[in-house]
Amino acid sequence: MAAPDRKTLILDTTLAVIAGAGLDGLTHRAVDAAAGLPAGSTSYHFPKKAALLAAAADRLEALLGKDCDDLQVGFSERVAAQGMDAAIDYVGVELVAYADRERDLFLARMELTLAAARRPELEGVGERLTAAAQRPIAFFLDLMAGRRADAPVEVCAGLIDGITLRYVTGQGPRPTAEQVRAVFAALL
């Protein structure tokens, strides 16, 4: 696998720094150090912090989209091969695994969404990231609910985000596939 280009490395590292230190800990120097790049590398590509945050949000949105596509393919394969119950179990297992595997992306999404609510230069970022995170849930609910127009996507996404947020911040237990399945079942 080829090494990521420098901008991608900077943006991926920015997301990791945001996840680990929050926006208060995000500096150009912190990103350079964490990425193992010479001082000034991040500033060269993103002279202003606002530009760095906006580009990091774009990168995060793209990563969430790729993850969503992967989940949808896996879900569709399970439905075709093993039926809806197996596919719902797959969703539960994958969402729980995602909380562990992509903890930094989840925390960076929360941080950037909060920042967007307070910073005019990030207008629209929160909505875009929320939509990207809700896309797989909308897909799953659409298939599970038989394409009902009233499937409660926002409620389901909020419950799953809440369970996940408690876990990744150390405030709650690791979610289980059964919990995720229960959320879908209760809302349908």
Q: What is the pLDDT of residues 48-102, one digit of tens each?
A: 999 999 999 999 999 998 888 888 888 888 888 998 778 778 888 888 888 888 8
Top pLDDT among 145 and 29 is at: 29
Sign of the C-alpha dihedral, residues 168, 172, 177, 179?
Answer: negative
Q: What is the pLDDT of residues 24-43, one digit of tens each?
A: 999 999 999 999 999 999 99
Q: Which of 63, 70, 68, 71 is nearest to 108 (CA)?
A: 63
- Of the candidate ranges 13-17, 35-39, 128-132, 177-181, the one whose mean pLDDT is the lowest: 177-181
The contacts of residue 156 (CB under 8 Å, 6+ apart) are 137, 141, 183, 184, 187
pTM as predicted: 0.86
Distances from the Cα of 37 to the Cα of 44, 59, 62, 124, 154, angstroms: 12, 19, 23, 30, 40
Task: Identify the residue whose tokens are 């989940």.
Answer: 71
Euclidean distance between CA atoms 9 and 56, whole angstroms: 11
Domains of the chain and CATH, by start: 6-187 (1.10.357.10)
